[in-house]
Amino acid sequence: MVKAYLRYEQSAVFGLVTSAEANVSFDYSGKLVLTGALENFMVWNVKQGRLLHALTPSLSNAKPAVTSIACMPSSMSLVAAGYSDGSARIWNIIDGSCETTFNGHKKAVTALRYNKVGALLASGSKDTDIIIWDAVGETGLFRLRGHKDQVTDVVFLERNKRLVSCSKDTLLKVWDLDSKYCIQTVVGHRTEVWTLDVNPAETILVAGSSDKELRVYSVDNGFKTEVQDKAADLDNLRLVGDLKRQSLDRVVTVRFNSSGSLMGCQVAGKTLEIFKLREESDTLKQAKKRKKRRQERKKLKHDKENSLKESENHMKDEIVASDMFHLLQIVRVKQKIRSFSFSPAISRKGQLLATVVLSLHNNSVEVYDVTEGSCTPMHLIDLPGHRSDVRSLTLSNDNTLLMSTSHNAVKIWNPISGSCLRTIEAGYGLSGLFVPGNRYAIVGTKEGKLEIFDIGASERVNEVEAHQGTIWSVTLYPNGQGFVSGSADHDVKFWEFKLAEDKGTKALNIANVRTLKMTEDVLSVCFSPDSKYIAVALLDSTIKVFFADSLKFFLSLYGHKLPVLCMAISSDAALLASGSADKNIKIWGLDFGDCHRSLFAHSDSVMAVQFVCNTHYLVSVGKDCKVKYWDADKFELLLSLEGHQAEVWCLAISSLGDFFVTGSHDRSIRRWERTEEPFFLEEEKEKRLEALFDSEQDNMADAHELSKGVPEEGAVALAGKQTQESVTAADSIIEALDLAETELERLRVHEASKEKGIFQPNVLLLGLTPSAYVLRSLSNVCASDLEQALLALPFTDALKLMTYLKEWMIEGSQTELICRVAVLILHLHHPQLVATLSSRPVLTSLYEVLKVGVKRLKDTMGFNLAAMSHLQALLASRSDAVFKDARDKVLAVRENLAKKADQRPDQGHMPVKRRKKRKEAA
pLDDT digits (tens, 9 = 90+) for 385-444: 898 999 999 999 999 999 999 998 999 999 998 899 999 999 999 999 999 988 999 999
The rounded Cα 127 to chain-centroid distance in angstroms is: 18
From the CB of residue 858, how many other CB atoms can be counted at a distance below 10 Å? 11
What pLDDT, on the 0 to 100 scale, is given for residue 566?
Answer: 94
pLDDT range class, residue 820, cuts 50, 70, 90: confident
What pLDDT, on the 0 to 100 scale, is given for residue 696?
Answer: 67
What pLDDT, on the 0 to 100 scale, is given for residue 312?
Answer: 42
Of 852, 854, 812, 847, give the one whose Cα is nearest residue 833. 847
What pLDDT, on the 0 to 100 scale, is given for residue 139?
Answer: 86
Stretch among 217-221, 268-272, 552-556, 752-756 having the lowest mean pLDDT? 752-756
Rounded distance between C-alpha atoms, residue 638 and residue 601, angstroms: 12
Torsions phi, psi for 322 (to 5 deg):
-65, -20
What pLDDT, on the 0 to 100 scale, is given for residue 1?
Answer: 63
The residue with greater pLDDT, 909 or 805, is 805
235 pLDDT above the threshold of 70: no
797 pLDDT above the threshold of 90: no
What pLDDT, on the 0 to 100 scale, is given for residue 476?
Answer: 93
561 pLDDT above the threshold of 90: yes
Phi-psi domain of 462 (left: phi exceeds 0; alpha: psi -120 through 50; beta: other): beta
Mean pLDDT, the chain, as a whole number?
85
What pLDDT, on the 0 to 100 scale, is given for residue 502?
Answer: 67
* CA dihedral of 152, 115, 221, 244, whole degrees rounded to 10: -40
Using DSSP's 3-state secondary structure scheme, residue 250 falls into coil
15 pLDDT above the threshold of 80: yes
Residues paired with 103 in a beta bridge: 87
Mean pLDDT of 910-914: 43
Using DSSP's 3-state secondary structure scheme, residue 266 falls into strand
184 pLDDT above the threshold of 70: yes
Chain segment 112-144, per-residue pLDDT in tens: 999 998 899 999 999 999 999 998 888 888 899
Rounded distance between C-alpha atoms, residue 41 and residue 39, angstroms: 7
Mean pLDDT of 537-550: 93
pLDDT range class, residue 904, cuts 50, 70, 90: low
pTM of the full structure: 0.81
Phi-psi domain of 437 (left: phi exceeds 0; alpha: psi -120 through 50; beta: other): left
What pLDDT, on the 0 to 100 scale, is given for residue 154?
Answer: 95
> Is residue 117 within 8 Å of 131, Cβ to Cβ?
no
Using DSSP's 3-state secondary structure scheme, residue 843 falls into helix
Contacts of 724 (CB under 8 A, 6+ apart): none
